[in-house]
Amino acid sequence: MRHFISVRDLTREDIDTVLDRAEAIHRHAYDPCALSGRILGLLFFEPSTRTRMSFESAIGRLGGGSIGVDSIEGSSMAKGESLADTVRVVSGYVDAIVLRHPKEGAARLASEFATVPVINAGDGAGQHPSQTMLDLYTIRQSMPLEKIHVGILGDLRYGRTTHSLVHALSLYDVTLSAIAPRTLELPQNTREELRERGVEVNSYEDVSEVIRDLDVLYVTRIQRERFPDAASYMNVAHSYRVTPELLTGVRKNLIILHPLPRAGEIDPRVDALPYAKYFEQARNGVPVRMALLLEVMR
């Protein structure tokens, strides 16, 4: 059984297989009945629009169905049921579980109790590996995943999409720059893990220092809900914003990505510029998650 918990568990070959399959799906080269009669369980204990809906769309397009809960309050966890019991029980109803949970490590724990594959759709400030697959897919639509310079801007401390993405990019021949306010820097242990893999990450506090050298700018929202108190959030709120003015003199081939939702860190005037790829990126969630479901559920 194949769980999908952390990018740390994946090889470059695993990733490329999913991306290649997603590309074929994009060209409509897939069997719309491939997962007919299969049911995907969606356990979303944190808000979600894109991740949940694109997984539902993905299973539907492959002929399967989905059932789920979308809050702790709406499930028996509100009565005190443990996550372990919940996934044990739900394993009897579905063929795979997609889990989003506010606690880091929740998906790993769930995979130890589930009797069907578990896909991590975000565990607190931990990982969000299916997002990374569509991030890489979107980069690959514009340029090869080698000899490029990727800048990751924003909340690198709590942003799970950035944690998964840097691990994945460390498997490719790319230059990585981390751009964040001091208190939101990439966690030390992540940096060390990357260093062990031979990858040094450049650090910047101000995106204008490096923007002209980038091929990819990956922007993220400050993860307000993960801050211990309002004051520490207020210290960094609105500390960066991508505007058309900031983008003067950038490389012609630059692409700007964002996992979305955005909360002010990209000026809407950027949407009309050729660099903006974030809505296309969100659309790519469907073929990429179809590829992933085929990998995990077949």
Contact status: 128 vs ligand NCD (CB under 6 A): yes
Query: Residues touching ligand NCD: how many (CB under 6 A)?
Result: 11
Binds ligand NCD by CB under 6 A, chosen from 41, 68, 122, 124: 122
50 near ligand NCD, rule: CB under 6 A: yes
Q: Which of 156, 194, 260, 294 binds ligand NCD (CB under 6 A)?
A: 260
Cβ contacts of 169 within 8 Å, gap of 6 or more: 136, 150, 176
Residue with structure tokens 């000899």? 147
Active site residue 195: no
Q: Does 167 bind ligand NCD (CB under 6 A)?
A: no
The answer to whether 100 is a known catalytic residue is yes
**Which residue, 30 or 44, is less far from ligand NCD as judged by CB?**
44
Catalytic residue chosen out of the listed positions 52, 100, 221, 289: 100
To ligand NCD, the closest distance from the beta carbon of 253 in angstroms equals 24
| Choice from 54, 91, 111, 161 touching ligand NCD (CB under 6 A) | 161
Looking at 111, 131, 170, 177, which residue binds ligand NCD (CB under 6 A)?
131
C-beta neighbour count of 172 within 10 angstroms? 19
Active-site residue identified among 28, 79, 248, 252: 79
Tokens of 221: 């929202």
C-beta of 86 vs 131, nearer to ligand NCD: 131
Residue nearest to ligand NCD (CB): 259
CA–centroid distance for 139 within its chain: 13
For ligand NCD, the binding residues in 19-48 under the rule CB under 6 A are none
Is 128 annotated as catalytic? Answer: yes
d(CA 255, CA 5): 28
Tell me how crowded residue 23 is: count the other CB atoms within 10 A of its CB: 16
Kindly tell me which of 30 and 240 has the beta carbon lying closer to ligand NCD: 240
Strand (E) positions, the chain?
Answer: 39-44, 65-69, 96-101, 118-123, 148-153, 174-179, 201-204, 216-219, 255-257
- Helices 129-142 and 285-297 pack at an angle, to 10 degrees, of 130
Q: Which two tokens stand for residue 278?
A: 């974030």
Active site residue 50: yes
The structure tokens 């929740």 sit at 106
Binding interface with ligand NCD (CB under 6 A): 50-51, 122, 128, 131, 160-161, 220-221, 259-260
